Amino acid sequence: MNNIFYKGAITLLYKCEILRPPCEEIVQEFLPTFRSLIAKELIEKYNFSQVEVAEKLGTTQAAVSQYLSSKRGQKNFSKVKSMTRVKTVANEVAKDMAENKLEEFDITSSFCKLCLELRTNQPRRKSK
């Protein structure tokens, strides 16, 4: 009986999005687009190959190909493209990657800082 109650409570909390932190939303909505911007910058400005970009981003060449052909990372592309700060950070990360100034931790840290900025500047979501 307790187990059924526990599962029901967890389901209710999840449906109410109490267990869905803002970082999760930002990652789902913006990380693919952020990666897409970085991939395009590395290829167009720094002449990286798709394989080299994949290694830098910790993904596959196929994923990079999809970023370039707009099959991946495009859900919020127009929204993100108008956000100057996101483009600036993506370009800075790409530049630092091209110059081998960033470790994987630094890339994650850059995105986390950007995530915090995005969350700070957006209106709070309403409770359901």
Q: Is residue 10 part of a domain?
A: no
Instruction: Spell 69-86 as b/e; 16+ CB within 10 A means b.
Output: eeebbeebeeebeebeeb
Domain, as residue range, for 67: 22-120
pTM over cut 0.75: no
d(CA 98, CA 117): 25
**Tens-digit pLDDT profile for the chain (128 aa)?**
445 544 555 454 555 555 677 777 777 778 888 888 999 999 999 999 999 999 998 899 999 998 888 765 556 555 665 678 888 999 999 999 999 988 766 778 888 888 888 777 765 555 54
d(CA 70, CA 81): 13
Q: Is residue 2 part of a domain?
A: no
Please spell the DSSP secondary structure of 36-82, one letter per residue.
HHHHHHHHHTT---HHHHHHHHTS-HHHHHHHHTTSSS-TTHHHHHT
Q: Is residue 66 part of a domain?
A: yes
Q: Is residue 89 part of a domain?
A: yes
Q: Is residue 51 part of a domain?
A: yes
Query: Would you say 47 and 38 are in contact if contact means Cβ atoms under 8 Å apart?
Result: no
Q: Is residue 12 part of a domain?
A: no
Helix (H) or strand (E) holding 33: helix 22-44
d(CA 104, CA 92): 14
Q: How many residues does the chain have?
A: 128
Query: Sign of the CA dihedral 58, 63, 69, 75?
Result: negative
Q: Is residue 16 part of a domain?
A: no
Q: What is the tally of structural domains in the chain?
A: 1
Q: Is residue 37 part of a domain?
A: yes
